[in-house]
């Protein structure tokens, strides 16, 4: 099975959030399961700086507009995973992030930047480039590669099937209809059944309309996005395609996220011996300027500062949280008013520490050093940090939605298999109620240890998700499935 996995970010090359963690780990898990996988990314400066064995592979010429485009082959810095980099300096060689400039403003030509990425993916998938490799499956991710299944279908190439994975329905890649000719998209595709969304071009919808299969990153979110509350206007299309839609829960890259081997920690630890966690906690309290009290539960949050993550619930309940006896540590970046509110909260309250910015190592130290991990998300397609927290014995307090509902079980029930604390209504009282249960259990050491052990023993490794994706790919390419079932003898 040959798979082209196209994405706009991948850890450890370039990362703004969970998509990078997925694109960094899932292709490697598919390769480990025996597939021939290439990960396609734009050749941003940080990608060119970090990737290994970069070689020119093919010239694609100008694809959209006049910027020259070529493909490079390369390898991940820390593995043999093969990369196909879309190199076009006028589009990608810029100081700033993958989607925005240094001030957080969207690049004005994002339609071209991700149009070119998508078209390059479709061309490789259609076998019309000189790279000497054509995949059986084109796997696109989110709006940035949403046009790839559309370009592939419109090219008429018969053999390659496409899958699109939704990591977040909220971000749709909307652009004015006027860019259609620049993207070389036929006017005929701009319909309600195609790329059009309320008079605009939606790159996400392009993927949903044209991909052979749609997946999202948890079973619960797959159901939720078929409703008006979570579908952002695409619930009708998703419900109509529900036979082609399923949820595959993300995994955890335990090479990156294990307290037993994590080099960013003050002391490593395991489920059998958690002594090092106390050291991590006091080191963190020290680092953040919090009172180094081992008995006081430390509740932490790491994430994008946006209402999706329920940051408003956390900020508005800080006094009540402190009254429950917890310390609070928050690491995040995002919307300016939340960054400001957090900075002010840290000044206003003793026992609250906030760090604004993006800091991969500090994220590890917080997840290890905290006792409770806060994720009161309004919606959460999967959520990775609650799974990381569980592995570090940090019990999550989560809203019962999306992947949070699929990965966390209420602690304290008979049998002792619970791993965290859940609530339903996105309201302060409900959130504080779940936190209160966590704080109460923290004081009851035997129950806490039982829940902590259950959390640390959860296995969300990528092998399972890779297997599920392979089933999906095989169902789309039945000739290859037969090859697998009976032992492949020829070129299938
Ligand atoms: P989302 O993709 O919605 O942001 P996920 O939980 O799937 O949420 O993944 C978020 C990823 O980004 C995790 O790896 C998390 O550790 C990381 N992350 C988010 N914010 C920060 C930050 N401010 N500093 C460091 N890492 C962060
Ligand atoms: C998105 C979602 C998050 C998910 C991640 C990776 O950013 O918000 O829930 O875990 O993608 O799939």
Q: How far is CA 265 from CA 260, 279, 282, 367, 488, in A?
A: 10, 9, 11, 10, 46
Q: Looking at the predicted structure, is the pLDDT value of residue 93 above 70?
A: yes
Average pLDDT over residues 433-444: 98
Q: Which atom of ligand 1 is nearest to the CA of 332?
A: 23
Kindly give the distance from the C-alpha atom of residue 296 to the centroid of ligand 1, in angstroms, as a whole number.
26
pLDDT confidence tier of residue 317, bands split at 50, 70 and 90: very high
Give nearest CA residue, ligand 1 atom 27.
Answer: 303
Quick one: pLDDT at residue 293? 97
Q: What is the pLDDT of residue 158?
A: 86
* DSSP annotation string for 9-70: -BTTTB-SSHHHHHHHHHHHHHHHTT-EEEEEEE--HHHHHH-EEEEEEEE----STT---E
Residues with CB under 6 A from ligand 1: 17-18, 21, 302-304, 331-333, 358-360, 363, 382-385
Residue bearing tokens 């400001």: 340
DSSP category for residue 278: H
Per-residue confidence (pLDDT) for residue 415, from 0 to 100: 80
Bridge partners of 86, per DSSP, are 42, 71
C-alpha to C-alpha distance for 194 and 283, rounded to whole angstroms: 54
Q: Render pLDDT for 334-346 as a digit per residue (tens, 0 to 9).
A: 999 999 999 999 9
State residue 480's pLDDT score.
66
Residue nearest to atom 18 of ligand 1 (CA): 303
pLDDT, residue 416, reads 80
- DSSP assignment of 189-224 equals G-STTTTEETTEEEHHHHHHHH-SEEEESSHHHHHH
For 236-271, what is each residue's pLDDT tens digit? 999 999 999 999 999 999 999 999 999 999 999 999
Question: How confident is the model over 138-156, as a mean pLDDT?
Answer: 97
Helix (H) or strand (E) holding 52: strand 52-59
Mean pLDDT of the 360-369 span: 98
Question: Is there an atom of ligand 2 within 6 Å of 24 CB?
Answer: no
Residue 489 clears pLDDT 70, i.e. is over it: no
Going by CA atoms, what residue is nearest to atom 3 of ligand 2?
383
Task: Give, using CA atoms, the residue closest to atom 10 of ligand 2.
Answer: 383
Closest-CA residue to 193 (of 150, 232, 164) = 150
Q: Could you read off the pLDDT of 266-280 as tens digits, one per residue? A: 999 999 999 999 999
Please tell me the distance between residue 241's alpha carbon and the centre of ligand 2 in angstroms. 22
Structure tokens at 488: 């492949």
What is the rounded average pLDDT of the residues 142-153? 98
Pocket test for ligand 2, best of 250, 252, 402 (most atoms within 8 A of CB): 250
Residue nearest to atom 7 of ligand 2 (CA): 18
| Tokens found for residue 84 | 């196909």
The percent of residues in the chain predicted with pLDDT above 70, rounded, is: 97
pLDDT digits (tens, 9 = 90+) for 385-420: 999 999 999 999 999 999 999 999 999 888 889 999
pLDDT in tens, 38-64: 999 999 999 999 999 999 999 999 999
pLDDT band with cut points at 50, 70 and 90 for residue 357? very high
**Whether residue 486 has pLDDT greater than 90:** no
Q: Does residue 483 surpass a pLDDT of 90?
A: no
Residue entry with tokens 């970046």:
333
**Quick one: pLDDT band at residue 103, thresholds 50, 70, 90?**
confident
Express as a percent the part of the chain with pLDDT over 90.
Answer: 94
Which residues are CB-neighbours of 273 under 8 A, at least 6 positions away?
Answer: none
Closest C-alpha to 392, from 264, 286, 295 = 264
DSSP bridge pairs for 202: 174
pLDDT at 104: 87
3-state secondary structure of 135: coil
Please give the Cα distance from 366 to 333 (Å, whole number): 15
Query: CB under 8 Å to 244, separation ≥6 — which residues?
Result: 212, 213, 214
Model pTM score: 0.96
8 A C-beta contact, residue 40 and residue 51: no
- Res 478 pLDDT > 80: no
Which of 8, 10, 18 for mutating ligand 1's site (highest number of atoms within 8 Å of CB)? 18
pLDDT at 207 over 90: yes
Ligand 1 atom closest to 355 (CA): 23
């Amino acid at each position: 099975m040959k798979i082209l996995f196209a994405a706009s970010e991948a850890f450890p090359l370039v990362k703004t959030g969970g998509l990078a963690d997925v694109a960094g780990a899932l292709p490697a898990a598919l390769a480990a399961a025996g597939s021939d996988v290439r990960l396609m990314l734009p050749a941003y400066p940080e990608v060119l700086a970090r990737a290994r064995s970069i070689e020119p592979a093919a010239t694609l010429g100008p694809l959209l507009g006049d910027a020259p485009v070529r493909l490079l082959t390369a390898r991940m810095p820390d593995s043999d995973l093969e990369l196909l980099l879309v190199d076009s300096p006028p589009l990608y060689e810029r100081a700033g992030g993958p989607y925005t400039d240094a001030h957080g403003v969207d690049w004005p030509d994002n339609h071209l930047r991700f149009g070119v990425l998508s078209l390059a993916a479709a061309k490789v998938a259609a076998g019309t480039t000189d790279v000497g490799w054509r995949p059986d499956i084109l796997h696109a991710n989110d709006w940035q590669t949403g046009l790839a299944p559309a370009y592939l279908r419109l090219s008429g190439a018969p053999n390659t099937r496409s899958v699109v994975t939704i990591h977040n329905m909220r971000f749709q890649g909307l652009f004015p209809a006027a860019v259609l000719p620049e993207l070389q998209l036929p006017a005929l595709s701009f319909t309600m059944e195609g790329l059009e969304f309320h008079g605009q071009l939606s790159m996400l919808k392009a993927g949903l309309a044209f991909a052979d299969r749609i997946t999202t990153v948890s079973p619960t979110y797959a159901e939720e996005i078929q409703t008006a509350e979570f579908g952002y206007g695409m619930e009708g299309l998703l419900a109509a395609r529900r036979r082609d839609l399923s949820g595959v829960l993300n995994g955890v890259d335990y090479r990156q996220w294990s307290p037993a081997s994590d080099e960013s920690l003050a002391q490593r630890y395991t489920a059998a011996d958690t002594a090092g966690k106390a050291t991590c906690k006091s080191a963190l309290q020290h680092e953040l300027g919090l009172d180094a009290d081992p008995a006081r539960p430390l509740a932490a949050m790491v994430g994008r500062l946006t209402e999706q993550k329920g940051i408003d619930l956390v900020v508005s309940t800080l006094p009540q949280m402190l009254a429950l006896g917890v310390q609070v540590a928050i690491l995040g970046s995002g919307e300016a008013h939340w960054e400001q509110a957090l900075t002010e909260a840290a000044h206003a309250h003793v026992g609250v520490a906030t760090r604004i910015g993006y800091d991969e190592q500090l994220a590890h130290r917080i997840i290890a050093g905290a006792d409770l991990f806060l994720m009161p998300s309004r919606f959460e397609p999967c959520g990775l940090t609650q799974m990381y927290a569980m592995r570090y014995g940090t019990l999550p307090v989560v809203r019962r939605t999306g992947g949070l509902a699929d990965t966390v079980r209420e602690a304290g029930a008979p049998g002792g298999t619970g791993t965290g604390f859940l609530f339903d209504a996105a309201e302060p009282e409900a959130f504080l109620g779940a936190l209160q249960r966590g704080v109460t259990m923290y004081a009851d050491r035997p129950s806490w240890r039982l829940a902590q052990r259950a959390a640390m023993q959860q296995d969300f490794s990528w092998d399972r998700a890779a297997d599920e994706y392979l089933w999906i790919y095989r169902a789309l390419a039945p000739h290859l499935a037969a090859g697998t079932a009976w032992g492949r003898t020829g070129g299938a």
